[in-house]
Chains A and B, each alone.
Chain A
Amino acid sequence: MKRSDETDRKATVGKRAAEFLVDSSDLLDTVKRTVEQHYRVVAEPNSDHAMHYLDTFDWRLYRSSWILYATHNKSGQKLVLETREGGMLQSIVVAELPLFAQDLPAGRLHEAIGDLIEPRRLLAHAHMRVGEQTLRVLNADEKTVVRLVLQTRALRTSARENTDTLLPAVVRVVPVKGYVEEHHMLSAFLENEFGLSAVPQCAFVSAMQSAGLTPGGYKSKVTISLRPQMRADDAVRAIHQSLLDIILANADGVRHNLDPEFLHDFRVAIRATRSALRQIKGVFPDNEAKHFSNEFKWLGAATGSVRDLDVFLLKMEAFRAELPTDMRNDLGPLEKYLHVHHDKEHHHLVDTLDSRRYRALMDDWSTFLGNPAPVETGTCHGAAQPVVELASDRIWRTYRRVWRRARKIDEETPAEALHALRIECKKLRYLLEFFSSLYPRDEMRALIQPLKQLQTTLGNFNDREVQQLNLRRIANEMYQERLASADSLLAMGRLMDHLQQEQLEELKRIHTRFATFSQPDNREQYRRTFKRSVEEAH
């Protein structure tokens, strides 16, 4: 986050409430009684409410230090956004719980997290039942100067769906603006009188941890750390296991079509698995590697059409914005067509996930990764070598291939050649990411960044190409099935123009991106990091 954003955020959140954990309900009663004896207090009526901790599947809010939760009781429901440090940004009454960014109430909350969660769905990772009583501490004017909130809590997480975990009670000392001393005084009173110490983080987060859920736990990339001298087959197996975990973690979200990112991560992990199987040779028996590679190819292909439609649907808003105002509604039939076909294709995909072949693949692959066969000869000649040698060798060779292809790129290069270059870049990127823990972090970051930019541009170029082809195909189908009026077809024609324009702009960008990627410094870095380790090994 940029510094200015950080400053803005601090400016807009309230002061932090001090939070204390209290182990027994007896102690909670004692705290209450003692505070009532020492201060002039009004006790608000007890209330029960349910709290739902909301975040995307990949914990985007948690990772950006936001805590979003909904509370509801008899009188209605509220959406509350806090920083992880405890400052509240907004608490707003809502009629329904938001599912996507577009459902968030307009205003600050939307501004703070709308773009961050897009296009993911908000999931309830945990539910908490809270019994709450607020004691308002008053001054001589009977004015509230600090609030003491006493809570008893039970938690249910997505990890353990049918068990409530009883949690320690919480005492929150909530400051009132302009009454800092009173807040300090009451916090100090609780610390001294009962030996309570303030909870360092949001009570909801610590509650989830104690119930076996790891906030921020899911990552869509391989994040294992390898040791350079590990056996290559062990290391590669660990990489595959990490990818399989990602595939399995996303399968449910894909099946229920919760949001398009589930399928995206699912597909990327499948492609990365295949890429690793095909590129990192000599560590697994050839026949098995080939079998699994084919099976993952089949699975990847089964996800293609839904993903294409997802991408289209995600872009509809942007597409509309590209058209003159009076033509925007003409894309209605296209959107409808996309939805209908998305439903159909998703149905096929669910059939695939329910198929015996899919289950067999997951089981066999999992077994294969779990039971290493002690083979060191034959096709597994590289299984026992230190992983760092294998990694450096593979990365260096792949880099050379990318480099050779990219050098030939000019204005005349046909789309197919750019497509081939994109695939090579992808392979290189996967390798760099799989093995990044073997090399100095800064060096890897410096190598990945220019590659990532080149890939993005190549990817955008390719997407525009594919979208134009698809749009033409869809237009033809819609015309034949009489689903589109002349106006709709004209609007789609304008989109084609627009996509082609964008594609040309991306093409211009490819050269600059490649120039950065192929800078002598960068080449030298590849040579130093990977070629030298290959040479040293020999």
Chain B
Amino acid sequence: MRVLAAYNIKGGTGKTATAVNLAYLSAYYGARTLVWDLDPQGAATFYFRMPERRGGGKRHIRGKQDLDSLIRGTDFEMLDLLRASFAYRNLDQTLAETRKPLERFAKLIRPLTKDYDYLIFDCPPGINLVSESIFFASEALLVPTIPTTLSVRCLDLLTEHLERNGPQSLRVLPFFSMVDLRKSLHKTICNAAPGKGVRFLKTRIPYASVVEQMGVRRAPVSVFAARSAVDYAYRALWDEIQIELDAPAATRAGQDLQRQTQAPGS
């Protein structure tokens, strides 16, 4: 099972859209896929037409309840969801009360290894114990980044933090999200290949109203807006991510924490 996390320190960058749309494509191409909605706002859960769980947000994090019993099938074959709980607002606290909180998520998901090919975390924004524990459980972070100064700065904060504290095996795969090339700032930043020691994925997700419509249609973009620019972009992104995950170290995009001495922009 490959474990990916849609993650950004900053909010509102398209993490949930990333998790939901890529998970849908993963399942569509035949991989058994699970989304774990960790955001107490429960946007992914809402998109998949399920109610948030009330309470019970602690027992399974503490390992007192079988995760499998909480998983539901979505409207799409091969795609399951572990719903968000409003109790996840205190997840940091809950985690702090467990033994070895950093290894908590890695341990929790171990029994799922046989049942799924991909697990995608939809993470809440911020950087805290929860995100640290997710870093340890994941193979790669998918970081949707809006081409603005503040977003790029958040990415720099993340990579600097991971260089010092991150698990060695974790890869950071940033890509531009909500890109509007009519805005000169977006254009400049996209072309400047910013980021300290991080190469962005080639695929950019354009800014488009179909992404917002996910909330109205309560479905992934590829379902109700097949052949739209966003649909194509997510398909290209998923292909690129898979190639990146299998690529030998020397040709990898993103940031390879084991080679943190790389020159910026290389």
Contact = CB atoms under 8 A, between A and B. Distances in A.
A219 interface: no
Interface centre among A78, A93, A107, A143 (most CB of B within 10 A): A143
Contacts, number: 49
A142 B32 CA distance: 23
A11 B114 contact: yes
Contacts of A176: 72-74
A142 B48 CA distance: 10
A538 interface: no
Given A91-B77, A177-B72, A177-B80, A143 B49 contact: yes
A144 B75 contact: yes
Nearest to B50: A143
Contacts of B49: 141-144
A92 B29 contact: yes
Contacts of B78: 91
A44 to B, nearest CB: 11
A133 to B, nearest CB: 16
A291 interface: no
Query: How would you classify the secondary structure of chain A's contact residues: helix, strand, loop or mixed?
Result: mixed
B185 interface: no
B115 A108 contact: no
B30 A92 contact: yes
Category for how many chain B residues contact A: 20 to 34
Contact of B117 (A8, A107, A142, A179): A107
A93 B73 contact: no
A18 B29 CA distance: 25
A93 B30 contact: yes
B51 interface: yes
Interface in B191-212: none
A470 interface: no
A91 B32 CA distance: 9
A261 B31 CA distance: 32
B5 to A, nearest CB: 22
B23 to A, nearest CB: 14
A225 interface: no
A90 interface: yes
Contacts of A141: 49-51
Contact of B30 (A91, A136, A177): A91
A102 interface: no
Nearest to A146: B73
Interface in B139-198: none
B35 to A, nearest CB: 13
A533 to B, nearest CB: 52
B170 to A, nearest CB: 23
Task: Give the contact-size bracket for chain A.
Answer: 20 to 34
Contacts of B77: 91
Contacts of B73: 144, 175-179
A99 to B, nearest CB: 19
B236 interface: no
Nearest to A176: B73
A178 B71 contact: yes
Interface string A159-179: 000000000000000011111
Contact of B32 (A90, A143, A175): A90
Contacts of A105: 30
A37 B192 CA distance: 59
Contacts of B115: 11-12
A157 B32 CA distance: 32
A143 B74 CA distance: 8
Contacts of A91: 30, 77-78
B91 to A, nearest CB: 22
B71 A78 contact: no
B114 A8 contact: yes
Interface string B39-54: 0000000001111000
Contacts of A175: 73
Given A11-B115, A177-B71, A179-B73, A143 B48 contact: yes
A150 to B, nearest CB: 17
Interface in B7-32: 28-32
Interface in A81-121: 90-93, 105, 107-108
Interface in A173-216: 175-179
A163 B80 CA distance: 42
Given A92-B30, A108-B117, A178 B75 contact: no
Contacts of A107: 31, 117
Nearest to B83: A178
A90 B30 contact: yes
Contact of A93 (B29, B32, B71): B29
Contacts of A108: 117
Contacts of B29: 92-93
A93 B238 CA distance: 15
A50 B30 CA distance: 18
A177 B80 CA distance: 8
A142 B72 CA distance: 15
A465 B98 CA distance: 64
Interface string A1-45: 000000010011000000000000000000000000000000000
A78 B30 contact: yes
A163 B114 CA distance: 43
Nearest to B70: A178
Nearest to B79: A177
- In the A-B complex, list the 3 residue pairs whose CB atoms are closest, starting with the nearest: A92-B30, A178-B72, A176-B73
Interface of B: 28-32, 48-51, 71-75, 77-78, 80, 114-115, 117, 218
Given A91-B78, A141-B50, A177-B73, 17 more contacts: A11-B115, A12-B115, A91-B30, A93-B28, A93-B30, A107-B117, A141-B49, A141-B51, A142-B218, A143-B48, A143-B49, A143-B75, A144-B74, A144-B75, A176-B73, A176-B74, A179-B72
